[in-house]
Amino acid sequence: MVKAKIAPSLLSGDFAHLAEECERMLGLGADYLHMDVMDGHFVPNLTLGAPIIKSLRKHTTGFLDCHLMVSHPEQWVDDFADAGADLFCFHYEATKDPKALIQRIHNKGMKAGMAVKPNTPIDVVYPFAEELDQVLVMTVEPGFGGQAFMPECMDKVRDLRARFSQLDIEVDGGLAPDNIEIAAKAGANVIVAGSSIFKAKSPGDVISLFRKTIDEIETN
């Protein structure tokens, strides 16, 4: 049985108070702190990088789940390891040698994740899944927050879960109380959510609902 892990996306937080936002989310029950790293090249948006991760590391013991939506992710492994990232998730579409990159990430003491865009077939992950700590199935096109959840991506989650029963499968993009059951039933256990948590009247209740939904499906 895989464990539910809820990962609020700090992209939806208050950038002027990121350290406080991290601690607030952990206090409300979050397991991971999801950091969206965008380079303005692999995706059109530009967001936080290794220097901000390094600054946050001084103020939180939380698990920093870093999703690198960047070209040439290899060039950032050392920087993110030195900054204190716990998990380095790269895009399959951005590297020519996933196996070597996974090994390098592990050698630097980080967990390794691989992400795939909505139009990338999930079978590209299969040769590497046994070496990965997490696979991220994007449920929106990467690059901007606030997009609508793409339920058709759940076929990829189902296929991945059927083959790798103990793998952490993360979903990111448009997750909310009205679609968490779809994701959980497909086999996702790591839930990234930005707007639906940070803009909620009671963010803690949303985190609790996500966890409860996954746990109930896992135990049935």
- Nearest CA to 29 out of 1, 5, 13 is that of 5
204 annotated as ligand-binding: no
Answer yes or no: 159 catalytic. Answer: no
Which residue is catalytic, options 14, 79, 172, 178? Answer: 172
* Structure token pair of residue 161: 């879960």
Q: Three-state secondary structure along 20-44? A: HHHHHHHHCCCCEEEEEEEECCCCC
- Nearest CA to 50 out of 31, 23, 73 is that of 73
Answer yes or no: 36 catalytic. Answer: yes
Which residue is catalytic, options 36, 65, 133, 168? Answer: 36
159 annotated as ligand-binding: no
208 annotated as ligand-binding: no
* Structure token pair of residue 115: 């992400």
13 annotated as ligand-binding: no
**Cα distance between residue 49 and residue 186, in whole Å:** 32
71 annotated as ligand-binding: no
49 annotated as ligand-binding: no
146 annotated as ligand-binding: yes
59 annotated as ligand-binding: no
143 annotated as ligand-binding: yes
Do the beta carbons of residue 139 and residue 174 sit within 8 Å? Answer: yes
143: left (phi over 0), alpha (psi -120 to 50) or beta: left
194 annotated as ligand-binding: yes
180: left (phi over 0), alpha (psi -120 to 50) or beta: alpha
67 annotated as ligand-binding: yes
91 annotated as ligand-binding: no
- Nearest CA to 171 out of 105, 112, 116, 218 is that of 116
Residues contributing to the annotated binding site for substrate: 9, 67, 143-146, 174, 194-195
Known catalytic residues? 36, 172
Residues contributing to the annotated binding site for a divalent metal cation: 34, 36, 67, 172
Residues contributing to the annotated binding site: 9, 34, 36, 67, 143-146, 172, 174, 194-195
